[in-house]
């Protein structure tokens, strides 16, 4: 039995906490706010994120970071990518050097353009494992068969995490390509915003298939330029995650794109969803990474201009469709 803390009691953190609890681990959920902790202790349910999913009484719930982190075998980071660095700074004084950090957030730090494993490693010296893949919390919490991948600079730790999370409904693969796993997981959220815009405009399957295949080509270009393996981007952490995020009703990134295409302003759409939409901030980071690595990423560029520079969705699509002719391919 492992002692595990989940940092973040949103839908994904809670779903993974439930899974680990079912495997007879000692699980603690950490909430950022005292009132959130009190609510979960009272109702044993996150009615906003995972309605009708009860939190067992043997899962501890706290808002005390020292209590949550001290003497734990594994810390699972399930908070927005934008706050990971600041939370890791707060966690550091209480960490055991042998504690494994498992990050399940997906994104790129805008200020530095670093992947999240690098952000975490700049703040603590512990082994960092990334868990990624096509995995909506709403389905995992209901034991729907799901497959994901784990990666790390130390694959011994990745194998420990693989064994920790593996169940008969949650299958975990290992992959040593840390860059590919992280870039695939982060950038699929950006492409999913465009998929939602396609839905919002009432376009059909042809349009979405074009977006997803050309989208994974752009993600692959950047992933390879940054040192990743192209085969990773065609696997669970790449195309697999892209499929589920572009097509699912659970996808917040797809939903925000849909609302924007229907005429809603970005800030209003974000408030309406009222949950973290990682792809919006990642759109900025991925656009700037494309310039840093001199990679042609016209879809990412169009999404960036649509979100932050006032370009209309229809104009972006027209510009993409009327680009100079070329051969199909990743390069």
pLDDT digits (tens, 9 = 90+) for 103-128: 999 999 999 999 999 999 999 999 99
| Predicted pLDDT at 22 | 98
Could you list the mean pLDDT of each consecutive 10-residue stretch along the chain, which spans 331 residues? 97 98 98 94 92 96 98 98 97 97 98 99 98 97 98 99 99 99 98 98 97 98 98 98 95 96 95 90 98 98 97 96 91 69
| Predicted pLDDT at 17 | 98
| Predicted pLDDT at 20 | 99
Please list the active-site residues.
188
Q: Is residue 172 within 8 Å of residue 148, measured between CB atoms?
A: yes
Other beta carbons within 10 Å of 329? 7
Q: Is residue 54 within 8 Å of residue 33, measured between CB atoms?
A: no
What domains can be seen in the chain, in order of their start residue? Answer: 3-176 (3.40.50.720), 179-321 (1.10.1040.10)
286 three-class SS: helix
263 CB contacts (<8 Å, ≥6 apart)?
none
**Residue bearing tokens 């994904």:** 12
Cα first-last separation, the chain: 47
């Amino acid at each position: 039995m492992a002692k595990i803390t989940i940092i973040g009691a949103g839908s994904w953190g809670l779903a993974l906490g439930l899974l680990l609890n079912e495997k007879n681990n000692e699980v603690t959920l950490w909430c950022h706010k005292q009132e959130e902790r009190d609510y979960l202790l009272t109702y044993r349910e996150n009615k906003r994120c995972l309605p009708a999913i009860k939190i067992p009484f043997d899962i501890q719930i706290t808002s005390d970071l020292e209590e949550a982190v001290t003497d734990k075998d594994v810390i699972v980071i399930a908070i927005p990518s934008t706050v990971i660095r600041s939370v890791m700074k707060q966690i550091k004084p209480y960490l055991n050097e042998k504690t494994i950090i498992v990050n399940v957030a997906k994104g790129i730090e805008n200020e530095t353009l670093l992947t999240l494993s690098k952000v975490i490693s700049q703040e603590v010296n512990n082994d960092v494992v990334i868990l990624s893949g096509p995995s909506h919390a709403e389905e995992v919490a209901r034991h729907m068969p799901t497959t994901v991948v784990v990666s790390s600079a130390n694959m011994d730790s990745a194998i420990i995490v693989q064994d920790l999370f593996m169940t008969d409904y949650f299958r975990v693969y290992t992959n040593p390509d840390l860059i590919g796993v992280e870039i695939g997981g982060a950038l699929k959220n950006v492409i999913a915003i465009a998929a939602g815009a396609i839905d919002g405009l009432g376009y059909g399957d042809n349009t979405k298939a074009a977006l997803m295949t050309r989208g994974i080509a752009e993600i692959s270009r950047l992933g390879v330029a940054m040192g990743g393996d192209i085969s990773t981007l065609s696997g669970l952490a790449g195309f697999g995650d892209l499929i589920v995020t572009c097509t699912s009703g659970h996808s917040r990134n797809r939903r925000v794109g849909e609302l924007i295409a229907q005429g809603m302003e970005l800030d209003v759409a974000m408030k309406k969803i009222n949950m973290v939409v990682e792809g919006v901030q990642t759109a900025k980071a991925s656009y700037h990474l494309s310039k840093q690595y001199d990679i042609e990423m016209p879809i990412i560029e169009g999404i960036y201009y649509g979100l932050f520079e006032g370009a209309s969705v229809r104009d972006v699509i027209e510009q993409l469709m009327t680009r100079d002719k070329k051969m199909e391919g990743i390069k």
